[in-house]
C-alpha cells in the first residue's frame, strides 16, 4: 500500500532551538496534515495544507505543502518543553481511498530545558 | 472537538478471551476508524466505517471485527485476544466524504494481553 516516510524518527534538542521534520511519498497527495500527540493522549490536528506550495503557520509552527505534491515539511521555532511529543504527518493520496488518510510513523521530539 | 469517548481507558485480559472496545461520539460524524499504535509502526488502520452497518477492513484487520449499529457508536472486538494484540487502540472520526479536514481522535485504550 501507499506509505509515508517521515524523518527523523526522533530528535533530542535543547530548549530554544528550531526543529525541522519532513514527510515524503512516492505518490502525489492532495492534502497534507500534521498532528501532535502528547504522552497518553490521542493525536491532535495542528495544521492542514491543501495546495502545492502552500505555507501555513500556527503560532511557532509552520508547515509547507511541497511543490511536487509528494512531500511536506513542519518547522517549530524556538522550541519549549511543552513541544515534547510525537508529530505525525498524514495525507490523502490522489486516487486513494476516499475518506481514508495515510499516516507517517511519527517523529518523537524530546526537549531538554 | 468531536466529543469522542473511548472505553475502557485501560484493560488487562488473558490470552484467548474475547474483548470489546467501545468508541462513542457526540458530533454525528459519518466516518469512524479504529487504529492501533505500536512503537516503530505508527498508527495502523484496523477497520473503518462509512455509515451505520457499513464497515470495511484496514491494513491490520486479522483477528478483529467491528460493528456499528448506531451513528454514535463503533465497537472493536478482539475475537480471541493474543499477546500480539497488546497495543494502544485509538478511535477517530471524520466528518465528510473526503478526509481533507482530518480526523479527530479519542484518548485511546491501552490493552494488555497476558
Question: B12-46: per-residue pLDDT in tens?
Answer: 999 999 999 999 999 889 899 999 999 888 899 99
Cis bond upstream, residue B11 (ω within 30): no
What pLDDT is stored for residue B41 in this prediction?
A: 86
Q: Mean pLDDT, chain A, as a whole number?
A: 92
Query: Is the separation of the CB atoms in A83 and A13 below 8 Å?
Result: no
Mean pLDDT of A32-43: 94
Phi then psi dihedrals of residue B28, to 5 deg: 65, 30
pLDDT tens column, A61-104: 999 999 999 999 999 999 999 999 999 999 887 776 656 788 99
Contact B103 A101 (CB under 8 A): yes
Q: Between A1, A98, A101, which is nearest B59 by CB? A: A1
Residue B3 C-alpha cell reads as 466529543
Residue of B nearest to A33 (CA): B102
List of chain B residues whose C-beta atoms are within 8 Å of the C-beta of residue A50: 100
pLDDT at A40 over 70: yes
Amino acid at each position: 500500500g501507499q506509505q509515508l516516510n517521515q524523518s527523523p524518527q526522533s530528535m533530542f534538542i535543547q530548549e530554544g532551538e528550531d526543529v525541522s521534520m519532513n514527510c515524503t511519498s512516492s505518490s502525489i497527495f492532495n492534502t497534507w496534515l500534521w498532528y501532535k500527540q502528547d504522552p497518553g493522549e490521542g493525536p491532535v490536528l495542528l495544521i492542514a495544507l491543501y495546495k502545492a506550495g502552500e505555507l501555513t503557520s500556527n503560532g511557532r509552527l509552520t508547515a509547507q505543502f511541497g511543490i511536487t505534491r509528494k512531500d511536506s515539511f513542519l518547522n517549530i521555532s524556538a522550541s519549549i518543553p511543552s513541544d515534547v511529543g510525537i508529530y505525525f504527518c498524514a495525507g490523502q493520496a490522489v486516487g486513494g481511498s476516499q475518506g481514508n488518510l495515510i499516516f507517517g510513523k511519527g517523529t518523537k521530539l524530546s526537549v531538554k530545558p | 472537538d468531536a466529543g469522542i469517548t473511548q472505553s475502557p481507558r485501560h484493560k488487562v485480559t488473558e490470552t484467548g478471551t474475547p474483548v470489546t472496545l467501545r468508541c462513542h461520539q457526540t458530533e454525528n460524524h459519518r466516518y469512524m476508524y479504529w487504529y492501533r499504535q505500536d512503537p516503530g509502526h505508527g498508527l495502523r488502520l484496523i477497520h473503518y466505517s462509512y455509515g451505520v452497518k457499513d464497515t470495511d477492513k484496514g491494513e491490520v484487520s486479522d483477528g478483529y471485527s467491528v460493528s456499528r449499529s448506531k451513528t454514535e457508536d463503533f465497537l472493536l472486538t478482539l475475537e480471541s485476544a493474543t499477546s500480539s494484540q497488546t497495543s494502544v487502540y485509538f478511535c477517530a472520526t471524520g466528518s465528510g466524504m473526503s478526509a481533507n479536514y482530518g480526523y479527530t481522535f479519542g484518548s485511546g485504550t491501552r490493552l494488555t494481553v497476558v
